[in-house]
Amino acid sequence: MNPRHYRDMIIRALQAGDMRRIDQLAAQLAQAEEARRLLQALTHCPACAATAAAGLVAVSATVRHE
């Protein structure tokens, strides 16, 4: 999805006072940042691939599907 779509989702959630959706979006942002950090580590240190992959598995294991 493009940034405008996310922006619109955030605005709608704020206008509706939908705290559940705001919490979901915040959790997704945190997961995306962690994935970005781990992928950056992979590109800068290929020898760190196993550690980074383990981090991705740990992150995905904590994701709740609502």
At 20-64, the pLDDT tens digits run 999 999 999 999 998 888 888 777 776 666 666 666 665 555 555
Rounded Cα distance between 6 and 25, Å, is 9
Is pTM beyond 0.85? Reply is: no
Q: Outline where the chain has alpha helix (H).
A: 3-16, 19-44, 49-61
What does the domain layout of the chain look like in residue ranges?
3-61
Q: Which of 53, 66, 60 is nearest to 25 (CA)?
A: 66
Question: How many other CB atoms are there within 10 angstroms of residue 48's CB atom?
Answer: 14
